[in-house]
C-alpha cells in the first residue's frame, strides 16, 4: 500500500475540522456524546449498502436526521442532551447491527479500505472547508453561548439556532471522518486532540491551535504509518492522538 | 409605551409544565432607575430575568423601549473551572458579537476597577470578586442602556460586596443606565433601589423600598421574621 496523496490531503483537512469542532464539543461537555452520536450513522450505512448507494451518503443522511431529532427533543422536552443521545445511540446501534452484516459492518465500525475516488476527495475538501469556516467565524458566538446563554441572548445571538448549527457541523465532522476512521474511532479524533489542547492551552486561541495541530499530526502520521506498516489508518491515528494526550499529562499545570 | 419607561411588563405568566412560576405579573421600570427584585428561593426571580431577555416562553407582554441594549450579569456560570477561556476571550467575544470596538473591553475593565493584566488569566483562576467584576465588565461592552444583575455579589466577601454595589450604582448614575437587580441583601435593596418588586408564592408586590420593606410585608413574603440593617444615607427617593 503506497502513500496516497489524496488520502493525505483529506487526512489534513479532516484533522483540522475535527480539531476545531472538538474544542467546543469538549468545552460543552459533549465528550461522550461525540462517541455516541457517531453510532447514529450505522443504520444509515446499512440502508445505503442495502439500497446500493454510497455508504457515506447513507451515514450523512442518518446523522442529519439524528441530529435534528436530538435538537428537536432537547428543545421541546428539556431532557438533557446526553440522555437523548444515549437513547438514540443504543437504538441506532441495535438497528444498524441488524441490517448491516459481515465485512460491511466491520468496515463501518473501523473505517474503510481502498483509495478514495476523486469525487470523495473533492467532497471531503469542501465539507472540511465548510466546517473550518463555520467554527472560525462563529467562535465568538459559540464561546459566549457556552459561558452563558443569557449573555449570548442579550448580545443578539439566537442561541437555539446556534446550537442547532453547531450540532449539524458536529454531525458533518463525524460524517467526514467516517470512511476514514469508522463509527467506533471517529469520536476520538474529535475529542482527544481537543482534550490535549484544553490541558495545555492558556487561552481559547491556544486551545484551537494546539487541538488542530494534534489532530493533523495524528491523521497525517497515522496515514503515513499505515502505508509503511501495511495496516489500517484508523487505529494508528487514534494511537498517535492518545500518545499526544498522555504526553500532555507530563506537563504540570497551575492546577497540578 | 409610556414616555420615560425603559420596560413595561403586562400580565406575564410563566409555566413549566403544570407548575406556574410567575402569574399575571405587571410592573413598569422608569428609565435611569434601579429596580430590586426580592423574594425567597424558588419564587421565580431568575425565571423573570430569563423571560425578560426572551429565553423563556410566556403569556402576556414584555415591552422594552425602542433600541434598548441589554447587559446581563448571570448568577453563576454552568461551566468547568479549568477551561482555557480568559477574561480577554470573553471581552473580545462580546465586543465582536455586539459590533463594538475591541478597546471597549479594556475600558470596561477600567470602569469596574479590574487590573487589565488579570483579564489574561483563565476565568477559573480569578477570585470570586474579580470574576464578578469581570462579568460586569463583559455586560458593559456594547454600551447597554439596561443592566440585569442576578445576585452579582453572591460568593463575594463583605468588603467586595460593598465595592461592587457602589460600582453598580455609580455606573447607573454616570451612564444613565437602568438597572434591574436580584438580591437577597435587603439592606442593599433599601439603600440603592428606587423601587422593589417582591415575588412570593402566589402574589407579588411593587413599590418604593420604604413601602415594601416593612416588617409585616417581609414576614408575609419570607414566611419568617426578617431584619436588615438600614444605612444612614438610604433609601433613595
| Contact yes or no for A150 and B74 at CB 8 A | yes
Q: Name chain A contacts of B144, Cβ cutoff 8 Å.
A: 154
What is the ipTM, given to two decimal places? 0.88
Residue B54 lies in a domain: yes
Better-scored residue on pLDDT, B108 or A69: B108
Lay out the sheet containing B59-64: strands in order across: B19-30, B5-16, B59-64
Tell me if chain A has a CB within 8 Å of the CB of B93. yes
> Distance, in angstroms, between B164 CA and closest chain A CA?
19
| Contact yes or no for B94 and A151 at CB 8 A | yes
Residue A253 has pLDDT above 80, yes or no: no
Same domain, B119 and B210: no
Q: What is the mean pLDDT of chain B?
A: 88
Structural domains counted in chain B: 2
Residue B23 lies in a domain: yes
Of B144, B165, B193, the position where a domain reaches its end is B144
Model confidence at A3, pLDDT cuts 50, 70, 90, reads low
Residue B103 lies in a domain: yes
> Which fold, A5-247?
ABC transporter involved in vitamin B12 uptake, BtuC (1.10.3470)
Same domain, B23 and B42: yes
Tell me if chain A has a CB within 8 Å of the CB of B217. no
For strands B195-200 and B34-38, give the pairing: parallel
Tell me if chain A has a CB within 8 Å of the CB of B54. yes
Residue B43 has pLDDT above 70, yes or no: yes
Same domain, B220 and B137: no
pLDDT score recorded for residue B232 = 54
pLDDT score recorded for residue A144 = 95
Residue B28 lies in a domain: yes
Residue B199 lies in a domain: yes
CA atoms within a 13 Å half-sphere pointing along the CA-CB vector of B52: 31
pLDDT score recorded for residue A254 = 54
Residue B237 has pLDDT above 50, yes or no: no
Lowest mean pLDDT among A72-81, A241-250, B118-127: A72-81
Residue B224 lies in a domain: yes
pLDDT score recorded for residue B32 = 94
Residue B78 lies in a domain: no
| Contact yes or no for A151 and B85 at CB 8 A | no
Phi then psi for residue B236, to 5 deg, are: -80, 150
The parent domain of residue B214 ranges over 1-68+145-237
Residue B184 lies in a domain: yes
Same domain, B40 and B61: yes
User: What proportion of chain B, given as a percentage, has pLDDT over 70?
Assistant: 95
For strands B195-200 and B203-207, give the pairing: antiparallel
Same domain, B162 and B229: yes
As a whole number of angstroms, the distance between CA B45 and CA B149 comes to: 11
The CATH number assigned to the domain holding B15 equals 3.40.50.300
Same domain, B57 and B155: yes
Q: Mutating which of B83, B86, B99 best tests the A interface, going by the most A Cβ atoms within 10 A?
A: B83
| Contact yes or no for B97 and A156 at CB 8 A | yes
Same domain, B220 and B124: no
Model confidence at A50, pLDDT cuts 50, 70, 90, reads confident
User: For residue range B112-156, what is the model confidence (pLDDT) as tens digits?
Assistant: 888 999 999 999 899 888 898 999 999 999 999 999 999 988 877
pLDDT score recorded for residue A231 = 84
Q: Mutating which of B90, B97, B121, B150 best tests the A interface, going by the most A Cβ atoms within 10 A?
A: B97
| Contact yes or no for B55 and A150 at CB 8 A | yes
pLDDT score recorded for residue A1 = 47
User: For residue range A108-126, what is the model confidence (pLDDT) as tens digits?
Assistant: 777 665 677 888 888 889 9
> Distance, in angstroms, between A162 CA and closest chain B CA?
13
Are A196 and A211 within 8 A, CB to CB?
yes
Same domain, B123 and B9: no
pLDDT score recorded for residue B179 = 96
What residue ranges do the domains of chain A occupy? Answer: 5-247
As a whole number of angstroms, the distance between CA B193 and CA B208 comes to: 8
Nearest to B156 by CA among B130, B136, B138: B130
> What is the arithmetic mean of pLDDT over A58-81?
82
Same domain, B113 and B176: no
Model confidence at B92, pLDDT cuts 50, 70, 90, reads very high
Lowest mean pLDDT among A176-190, B184-198, B212-226: B212-226
Same domain, B101 and B216: no
Model confidence at A216, pLDDT cuts 50, 70, 90, reads very high
Same domain, B127 and B150: no
pLDDT score recorded for residue B231 = 59
Q: B29: Cβ–Cβ under 8 A, 6 or more apart, which residues?
A: B5, B6, B7, B8, B35, B178, B180, B195
Note which residues in 70-89 of chain B have CB less than 8 A from chain A.
Answer: 70-72, 74, 77, 79-80, 82-86, 88-89
Better-scored residue on pLDDT, A145 or B161: A145
pLDDT score recorded for residue B229 = 63
> What is the arithmetic mean of pLDDT over A219-232?
87
User: What proportion of chain B, given as a percentage, has pLDDT over 90?
Assistant: 53
Q: Name chain A contacts of B90, Cβ cutoff 8 Å.
A: 143-144, 147
User: What proportion of chain A, given as a percentage, has pLDDT over 90?
Assistant: 38
Q: Name chain B contacts of A146, Cβ cutoff 8 Å.
A: 79, 85
pLDDT score recorded for residue A69 = 84
Tell me if chain B has a CB within 8 Å of the CB of A156. yes
Q: Name chain B contacts of A203, Cβ cutoff 8 Å.
A: 84-86, 88-89, 120, 122
> What is the arithmetic mean of pLDDT over B192-220?
85
Lay out the sheet containing B146-150: strands in order across: B70-73, B146-150, B178-182, B34-38, B195-200, B203-207
- Collapsing DSSP to helix, strand or coil, B149 comes out as strand
pLDDT score recorded for residue B153 = 86
Residue A75 has pLDDT above 90, yes or no: no
Tell me the CA distances in angstroms from A203 to A13, A91, A184, A198, B115, one per residue in order.
Answer: 23, 38, 31, 9, 18
Same domain, B170 and B92: no
Note which residues in 105-164 of chain B have CB less than 8 A from chain A.
Answer: 120, 122, 125, 138-139, 142, 144, 148
> What is the arithmetic mean of pLDDT over B187-198?
91
Tell me if chain A has a CB within 8 Å of the CB of B97. yes
- The nearest alpha carbon in chain B to A77 belongs to B17
Of B124, B144, B164, the position where a domain reaches its end is B144
Of B125, B144, B163, the position where a domain reaches its end is B144
Amino acid at each position: 500500500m503506497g502513500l496516497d496523496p489524496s488520502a493525505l490531503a483529506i487526512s489534513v483537512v479532516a484533522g483540522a475540522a475535527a480539531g476545531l469542532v472538538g474544542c467546543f464539543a469538549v468545552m460543552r461537555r459533549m465528550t461522550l456524546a461525540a462517541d455516541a452520536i457517531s453510532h447514529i450513522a450505522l443504520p444509515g450505512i446499512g440502508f445505503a449498502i442495502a439500497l446500493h448507494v454510497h455508504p457515506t451518503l447513507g451515514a450523512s443522511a442518518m446523522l442529519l436526521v439524528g441530529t435534528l431529532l436530538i435538537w428537536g427533543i432537547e428543545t421541546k422536552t428539556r431532557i438533557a442532551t446526553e440522555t437523548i443521545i444515549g437513547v438514540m445511540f443504543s437504538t441506532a446501534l441495535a438497528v444498524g447491527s441488524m441490517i448491516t452484516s459481515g465485512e460491511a459492518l466491520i468496515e463501518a465500525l473501523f473505517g474503510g479500505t481502498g483509495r478514495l475516488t476523486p469525487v470523495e476527495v473533492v467532497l471531503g475538501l469542501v465539507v472540511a472547508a465548510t466546517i473550518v469556516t463555520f467554527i472560525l467565524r462563529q467562535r465568538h458566538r459559540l464561546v459566549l453561548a457556552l459561558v452563558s446563554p443569557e449573555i449570548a441572548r442579550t448580545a443578539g445571538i439566537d442561541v437555539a439556532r446556534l446550537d442547532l448549527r453547531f450540532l449539524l457541523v458536529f454531525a458533518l465532522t463525524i460524517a467526514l471522518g467516517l470512511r476514514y476512521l469508522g463509527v467506533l474511532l471517529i469520536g476520538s479524533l474529535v475529542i482527544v486532540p481537543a482534550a490535549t489542547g484544553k490541558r495545555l492551552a492558556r487561552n481559547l486561541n491556544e486551545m484551537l491551535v494546539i487541538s488542530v495541530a494534534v489532530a493533523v499530526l495524528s491523521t497525517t502520521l497515522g496515514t503515513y504509518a499505515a502505508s509503511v506498516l501495511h495496516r489500517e489508518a484508523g487505529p494508528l491515528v487514534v494511537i498517535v492522538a492518545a500518545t499526544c494526550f498522555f504526553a500532555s499529562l507530563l506537563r504540570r499545570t497551575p492546577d497540578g | 409605551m409610556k414616555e420615560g419607561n425603559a420596560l413595561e411588563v403586562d400580565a406575564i405568566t410563566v409555566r413549566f409544565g403544570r407548575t406556574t412560576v410567575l402569574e399575571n405579573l405587571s410592573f413598569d421600570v422608569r428609565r435611569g432607575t434601579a429596580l430590586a427584585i426580592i423574594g425567597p428561593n424558588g419564587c421565580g426571580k431568575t425565571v423573570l430575568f430569563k423571560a425578560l431577555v426572551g429565553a423563556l416562553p410566556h403569556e402576556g407582554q414584555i415591552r422594552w423601549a425602542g433600541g434598548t441594549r441589554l447587559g446581563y450579569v448571570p448568577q453563576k456560570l454552568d461551566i468547568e473551572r479549568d477551561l482555557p477561556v480568559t477574561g480577554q476571550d470573553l471581552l473580545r467575544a462580546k465586543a465582536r458579537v455586539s459590533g463594538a470596538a475591541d478597546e471597549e473591553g479594556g475600558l470596561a475593565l477600567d470602569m469596574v476597577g479590574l487590573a487589565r493584566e488579570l483579564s489574561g488569566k483563565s476565568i477559573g483562576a480569578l477570585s470570586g470578586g474579580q470574576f464578578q467584576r469581570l462579568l460586569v465588565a463583559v455586560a458593559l461592552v456594547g454600551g447597554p442602556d439596561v443592566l440585569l444583575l442576578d445576585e452579582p455579589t453572591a460568593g463575594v466577601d463583605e468588603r467586595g460586596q460593598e465595592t461592587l454595589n457602589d460600582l453598580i450604582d455609580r455606573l447607573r448614575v454616570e451612564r444613565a443606565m437602568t438597572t434591574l437587580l436580584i438580591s437577597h441583601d435587603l439592606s442593599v435593596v433599601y439603600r440603592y433601589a428606587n423601587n422593589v418588586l417582591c415575588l412570593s408564592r402566589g402574589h407579588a408586590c411593587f413599590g418604593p423600598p420604604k413601602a415594601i420593606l416593612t416588617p409585616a410585608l417581609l414576614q408575609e413574603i419570607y414566611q419568617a421574621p426578617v431584619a436588615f440593617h438600614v444605612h444612614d444615607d438610604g433609601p433613595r427617593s
